[in-house]
Amino acid sequence: MNKKFTNLKHSYESFVSQGLQCSRAYFIAKLSTMILLVSIGATQAAVTNIPQPPRTITGKITDETGGPLPGVSIKLKGTTAAAITNNNGSFSIQIPESTQDGILVFSFVGYKVQELPIPASSVLNVKMVPDSKNLNELVVIGYGTQKRGDISSAISSVNKEKMDKIPTANLSTALQGQAPGVVATPGNFKPGSGASIRIRGSRSLSATNDPLFVVDGVPVSYSIDDINPLDIESIDILKDASATAIYGSRGANGVIQIVTKKGKAGKVTIDYSASTSVEEILRKLDVFDGPEYAQFKRDAYIGGKAYNTGLSNTSTAQRYFPDAATDYKLFSADANMLSKVLAGYTFTKYDPANNIFDVLTRPTTAEEKTLLTSLGYPVLDNVAVYDPSKVSTFDWQKEGLRKGTTQSHNLSVTAGSEKFSDAFSLGYFNQKGIIPGQDYTRYSVSNSASFRPAAFLNIGGNLTYTNAIQNAGTDVYGGASFQLPLAQPYDANGTFILNPGNDANIINPLNDENSMLNERKISHFLGNVFASLNLYKGLNFKSTFGADVYDSRNGIFNGSISSSRQGNPASASYATNSNLSWTLQNQLSYALKLGQKHDISIIAVQELVKNRSDTTNASATGLSYESQKWYSLQNNVTGVVTYAGSFSQNQLASFLGRVTYSYNGRYVLTIAERYDGSSVLSAENQGKSFPSGSVAWRLDQEDFIKKFTFIDQLKLRGGVGAVGNSGIRPYLTNGTLGITYYNFGSTPAKGYAPNGLPLPQLAWEKTVTKNLGLDFSVFKGKVTGSVDVYESNTNVIQPQKLPDASGYSNITVNLGEVRNRGVEIALSTENYNKNGFKWTTDFVFSKNKEAITKLDGSGNNNITSGWFIGQPVRSYYDYQAQGIFQNSDAQPGGILYEYYWKKAGNRTNTALQPGRIRVQDTNADTVITEADKVVLGSPNPDWTGSINTTFSYKGFELSAFLYISHGGLVRDPRPSLVGRFQYLDVNYWTPTNPSNEYPQPNLTSDIPLYWQASGFRDASFARIRSILLSYRLPASFLEKIKLRNLTISLNALNPFLFSKYKTYDPETVAYLSSYPSSSTNTPVPTSYSYRSLVFGLKAGF
């Protein structure tokens, strides 16, 4: 079987490649030309062939409340005559003379289809009736569409109209909270950045966990976020294997089906939308101000027993309360800081040259003397009077932020007739981020055209092109928030200070906006052409060729005065990435109806996919002229120049089939199978079949259910299927070579040697999913929804450690297993609908339990990789904090005294003292080591949900969208109080403030491995993503100004965040498996969430 398949694949590919040996430019030019010719030719044909009927029927269509219903389709049965209602519900349709006694068919999503005879008069008004069952709505599935009533697998449709109410730069971010089982987590909040999408959890340890995106029937190989979201017509998400198995080796992580906007029969329509917004950071850091930082630094020296004029822990002249002479020593490195700190004292005599620091004093209280005695400090009769309100603060955070803005403009034109349809759009989007130096600009154009020159033939194509520039800059705000509030960024002459506070370890970031550049230019073409041929009644053949062309250029520059180079010569790098993917599909479908009760549909598809990637990069240090940035790095460079590059390609050949049988619209059976052959695997494992099956039972059609009159629709469905994941590196199975150095005699030489073993046994990752679902509609459509429960099991690819004697570190094998179990609920309610006032609510709930069930074919954990049996793919494995050691713990009966100090050496261990973090001694040996680490949790939420509620009255609409993520852990980038940097204004431990969360400040990290134990926080949050108020002008007024639609809106995006975690927005903190054990300057997010106020305008002509 494999040999035959391989020969067939090679022969077929040879045939295709001979006909398609062309460049990237050829693909773009050819597809664009074909689509343009279709548009022009079809337009000419439409213009010259439209008949001129002698009679016209006009009228108005209203909804159940009497309001106008735009977008209703009107067709003359048995002919190609058609029309669509405008904004005020009016229509006009021309009736050929030969069909004066015909039937007019009125249809609209969510309403029952009505068939009415042509009236004797020329006016016909129709009131549409809601269809609570909505079973005839078409849903996009793999390689086709299907009526919602016939669907037997787990597919969620996104309400595109409601999703568009939350304007975003890209699709992935917009999907958050829109469908059950779909978790969209922003990678960062930089302008133009998207989100990470997971459908029903993660399955793979080594391959990709990203879903497959399919646009207009063609799989997308590269970024989906370059597509303008406003060009999208519908989104359907395929979640279980019975739905995704038709995509075989690429369907393991779910499939997101996207259909772009198409032209419709009727008059030419023009739509324009625009929006502008202002943005500000959602949550600024609550850091120490000037006087608080001064006391924090004193407390750090007190914690290290070094707050004295010698700044030494060996001195006997320790001080606990502010002391002018000690502060002079402590802050004397920087004149600005020193003057600010000393401003809190009232000096009677100040002569630093002679060590004279006489200040106003006050008597020491009895309580203070008792405290000094208990701490072993010298007991003083008087202490300095210190007024912290006189100490000024420089607001570094303000300097690292700016007001962000966005602008968006979109123009679309649609047209159509009985033979031709076309949709064309232009888009512009610009975002200036809240951090200086970060912005994003995108230009987009799309066109979708189809032409039916004959009743049996339809040809057309879809084109999307995007050109974008993203300036990612650097994290000026993050660097600024670390700066000392007593220091200044500029001196008295306005000169930039590279090291504020005169500290070589602290770099001024405020110049990074202009001295650290990170520019990425993107060119993305996505398109396809197709021809569809009706061979016989119910028998159709369709051939589609699609291309996905993605090019990027990334230049990075670090100037000499940047925080990266710190006065050293400038450096730069330049990388290019060229990618091409093309797909050829040949599809044969047959729909057959036997009698009145039996419906059968059959589809067979042959598909060939080829991907190619070519990257190059260069880097250099010591640029003689900084103005050259990353260009011509081979010239004018005094340092080292390095070059590198890579090339890879892979291909996939597939055959698939699906059969759907429906009996009387009551019972539905679907069986599918796909056979894939992938070049990334060895010959022994290239081919694999992926079968699936699902059933649906329309319970509402049964007599024993019909007696429950409140039930409109009740459908039970279940499915099982297998899908694969071949998302591994090309050439991995062949073994790899690497550069090695050796001595040839006495001469150093360079050569190549194997650095990776061949992997002929490596096979597909295979996921088997079982799904049971229930769809329902009750109370005449007032409540609709669905419930799904599922389980998926994946045999995953993972690295396995090899013995050192083998000469290799590890080998990649199929020995792991991951399981996902979960439940999903979607619910929509119509709470009120009377007298023009309507209130609706949508609820979405998802809970997924992800767990590794096997590693290395055994039950052992892989601590090195952070994988643990029974835990999610991403877990936190670290020390367990149990609070702070208190003074009472050092007394007889306390844990320090009774448990730790009884072991030799522990009593003097600075980590085992009051004020230090108490860490769980897991193995009970009184010594904290790596063996005491435990699995603390995962960044994955326990469940996610959303609530979208909408109120409408006549032309007004008010809606709010709430997104909730409950459970999971976030590792705080600033968990402890060590080192010289600025920190959050936290309630830390002191002898007079026995906090149990944050330890006593200290000079150094004297607990080098487990101080990070205090860094874990509950990641739960609730975010109001949108509060929208809009007004649509009445139809009577629009008719006067010749407009079809005019809507204005005001939208508050991301206005509120509710979370116990007070440092950052939980979604901005990326998963960090561990801290650098020696670092006290822990990493921070590189982007920060923001709130926006958006003004929008939509006009239709």
Tens-digit pLDDT profile for residues 61-100: 987 767 778 778 888 887 777 888 876 788 888 888 767 6
* CA separation, residue 218 to residues 214, 258, 530 (Å): 5, 10, 11
Q: Tell me if 656 is assigned to some domain.
A: no
Confidence of residue 822 (pLDDT cuts 50, 70, 90): very high
- The token duo for 310 is 């010698």
Residues 175 and 142 in one domain: yes
C-beta of residue 358 within 8 angstroms of C-beta of residue 347: yes
Confidence band of 957 (pLDDT split at 50, 70, 90) = very high
Q: Phi/psi at 189 (nearest 5 deg)?
A: -105, 20
Q: Is residue 332 part of a domain?
A: yes
* Domain contains 681: no
Is residue 966 a part of any domain in this protein? Answer: no
544 domain-assigned = no
Quickly state the pLDDT bin for 241 (edges 50, 70, 90): confident
| Average pLDDT over all residues of the chain | 85
Tell me the whole-structure pTM to 2 decimals.
Answer: 0.83
Token pair of 860, please?
């052992």
Band of residue 1075 on the pLDDT scale cut at 50, 70, 90: low
**Claim to verify: residue 890 and residue 994 sit in the same structural domain:** yes
User: Residues 912, 885: contact at Cβ < 8 Å?
Assistant: yes
Nearest to 182 by CA among 132, 113, 254: 254
Domain stop point among 392, 420, 439: 392
User: What is the reported pLDDT for 1079?
Assistant: 46
| Assigned domain for 990 exists | yes
Q: Does residue 218 sit in the same domain as residue 240?
A: yes
Is the Cα torsion angle 493, 496, 500, 504 positive or negative in sign?
A: negative
Distances (CA, A) of 248 to 768, 783, 1074, 1083: 12, 35, 36, 40
Q: Are residues 142 and 234 in the same domain?
A: yes
The 3-state secondary structure of 224-250 reads: CCCCCHHHEEEEEEECCHHHHHHHHHH
Is 742 part of any domain?
no
Range of the domain at 174: 138-274
Q: How confident is the model at residue 315 (pLDDT cuts 50, 70, 90)?
A: confident
DSSP 241-304: HHHHGGGGGG-TT-EEEEEE----SEEEEEEEEEEEEEEEES----B--HHHHHHHHHHHHHHT
| Residue 411 contacts residue 446 (beta carbons within 8 Å) | no
pLDDT band of residue 24 (cuts 50, 70, 90) is very low
CATH of the domain at 208: 2.170.130.10
Which residue among 79, 106, 131 closes a domain? 131
Residues 63, 173, single domain; the answer is no
pLDDT of res. 583: 93
Contacts of 632 (CB under 8 A, 6+ apart): none
For the segment 398-410, what is each residue's pLDDT rounded down to a tens digit?
A: 999 999 999 999 9
Place of tokens 């994941």: 725
625-634: pLDDT as tens digits: 888 899 988 8
Residues 311 and 370 in one domain: yes
The CATH number covering residue 65 comes to 2.60.40.1120
pLDDT (average), residues 10-18: 40
Q: How many CA atoms lie within 13 A of 1027 on its CB side?
A: 9
Domain assignment present for residue 859? The answer is yes
What is the structure's pLDDT at 33?
Answer: 45
Is residue 242 located within the same domain as residue 335? Answer: no
- Are residues 868 and 994 both part of a single domain? no
The helix/strand/coil state of 626 is helix
Q: Tell me what percent of the residues of the chain surpass a pLDDT of 70.
A: 90
Domain count across the chain: 5
**Among 83, 109, 131, residue at a domain's last position:** 131
Within a 13 Å sphere around the CA of 895, how many CA atoms are in the beta-carbon half?
A: 16
Residue 889 and residue 869 share a domain: no
Q: State pLDDT tens for residues 870-925.
A: 999 999 998 998 999 999 999 999 999 999 998 877 888 888 889 988 999 999 99
Q: Are residues 208 and 148 in the same domain?
A: yes
Neighbours of 330 (CB within 10 A): 22
CA separation, residue 786 to residues 155, 326, 717, 769 (Å): 10, 69, 11, 18
Instruction: Using only the alpha carbons of the chain, give its radius of gyration.
Output: 34
**Whether residue 257 is found in the same domain as residue 193:** yes
Question: Are 119 and 182 part of one and the same domain?
Answer: no
Amino acid 25: pLDDT: 45
> Which residue bears the tokens 């090339």?
647
In whole angstroms, give the CA distance from residue 108 to residue 86: 13
Q: How far apart are CA 93 and CA 443, in angstroms?
A: 37
